[in-house]
Amino acid sequence: MIFRSSEGRTPDQQLADYVVILHQVKDDSFYATFLSVLNNSRKHYADILARRKGKEPKAEAGKVAEIN
């Protein structure tokens, strides 16, 4: 279940917006690093969900590709 605020944004989107604003206001490398970690985590999770949608049938999922 995804919780949305009255603005229609998910908590992770709100957190990302908040960190972007803090990074713009305070010239601190902490916020840039935190934003990078947050974006990488969100991309990794999105990749996992995309893989699940297009995953192979269970019978073929265990096969290992042959190298010639």
* DSSP sequence for 45-65: HHHHHHHHHTPPPHHHHT---
The residue count for the chain: 68
pLDDT confidence of residue 14: 92
- The mean per-residue pLDDT over the stretch 47-63 comes to 68
pLDDT confidence of residue 40: 92
pLDDT confidence of residue 9: 86
Q: Is the pTM of this model over 0.85?
A: no
Domain residue spans of the chain: 11-53
